[in-house]
Amino acid sequence: MSAETRIRPATPLAIAEAAALIRAGELVAFPTETVYGLGADALNAQAVASIFAAKQRPANDPLIVHIATTDQLAQLSPAVSALANALIDAFWPGPLTLVLLRHPELPVMLSAGLPTVAVRMPAHPVALALIAAAGTPIAAPSANLFSHTSPTTAQHVWDDLNGRVPLILDGGPTPVGVESSVLDLSGERPRLLRPGAVSVEAIARLAPDVEVVRRYLDPADVDADAQLSPGLLLRHYSPRAEVHLFEGTDEAVQAALAQGARELRLSGKRVGLLIAEEDRAPLERAGVTHIAPIIALGHLGDLEHVARTLFSGLRALDTLGVDVILARAFPAHGIGLAIHDRLTRAAEGRVQRV
């Protein structure tokens, strides 16, 4: 544990201070377009190890390396395929992480012993300025405690990591709100290991044979499947409250939310609802708004907005101290697939089709 963590607005001066910390092998939390990252010099084995310690992250879960220019790729991977280059041209800087063959001199822990390394160029001016000023690629997982909800504000980072990182650069709320898509290009066929902010539909335009890995691993299978991608763990993105996810027609979902909220209240539980704007009026009519706090993430037709508010909505209900969160499922197309994935994992499999 270090001293209390400082939050500084991401001015040029603060970015210069953060870059000096990175060069000295220290940790810095910083905004990207997706979520806040907990960064360290990717080429410094000790600094990389300290990321795992600060997050309480198991050593079998590899990190993403963030770069500011494509020149930095040569330090990370000896083999960048034509497909990788096409995807880079199309999506970088942006929320697409590519899993490539790993440069042999990289710290082993970075890749958790895998022969590959995950790389992306974030589309956020603060992240890019920090990487450029540090003069080194920056390894950064999401800046939350392991398996907790990812942070989309500097305050979220502080709530999880106060005392575990000297400095948080505050760049305001992150504009995308869900993590990058993780695409494995190291095998014969491109495989989407984690759906994210770049949609499968967009990736498939350049990689038509992309395979979407849809398995949710049970924690019991970790050892067997850790080599695939530990981020596939079912228990992930979890708030403290128990999450239940409801899928179905709008009417059926609204009825299930209302009934579930009433039953839980009767049994003495505090319950919160995570809904779409469209659910608000029906739930008001059902009288549920008096018995449970409600957070509407956005309209069903504006999934970009829902993505932006998803993690802060989960955290806000936790802060209100609810025992159970009843959440509606959102359409699983475009960025909606990432939303659906995060909610399913937050629910740890408690998904009900109604």
Question: Binding residues for ligand TXA, per CB under 6 A?
Answer: 32, 34-35, 37, 61-64, 95, 97, 99, 111, 114, 116-118, 122, 140-142, 179-180, 182, 184, 193-194, 229-231
Residue listed under structure tokens 């530990």: 230
Whole-angstrom Cα distance, residue 354 to residue 249? 8
Tokens of 80: 């960048």
User: Looking at 136, 142, 174, 344, which residue binds Mg ion (CB under 5 A)?
Assistant: 142
Identity of the residue, 102 or 328, whose beta carbon is nearer to ligand TXA in the bound complex: 102
Q: In what order do the strands lie in the sheet with 294-296?
A: 294-296, 271-275, 324-328, 242-247, 351-353
Give strand pairing partners of 273: 294, 326
Tokens of 22: 């990175």
Partner whose footprint covers residue 111, from ligand TXA, Mg ion, none (CB < 5 to 8 Å by kind): ligand TXA
Identity of the residue, 113 or 287, whose beta carbon is nearer to ligand TXA in the bound complex: 113
At closest approach, how far in Å is the CB of 74 from Mg ion?
Answer: 27
The answer to whether 343 and 243 have CB atoms below 8 angstroms apart is: yes
At closest approach, how far in Å is the CB of 110 from ligand TXA?
Answer: 8
At closest approach, how far in Å is the CB of 11 from ligand TXA?
Answer: 21
Separate counts of helices (H) and strands (E) for the chain: 11, 16
Identity of the residue, 137 or 151, whose beta carbon is nearer to Mg ion in the bound complex: 151
Ramachandran angles phi, psi of 153, nearest 5° = -135, 165
At closest approach, how far in Å is the CB of 142 from Mg ion?
Answer: 3
At closest approach, how far in Å is the CB of 268 from Mg ion?
Answer: 33
Ramachandran angles phi, psi of 168, nearest 5° = -115, 125
Identity of the residue, 48 or 264, whose beta carbon is nearer to ligand TXA in the bound complex: 48
Give residues in contact with Mg ion (CB under 5 A): 142
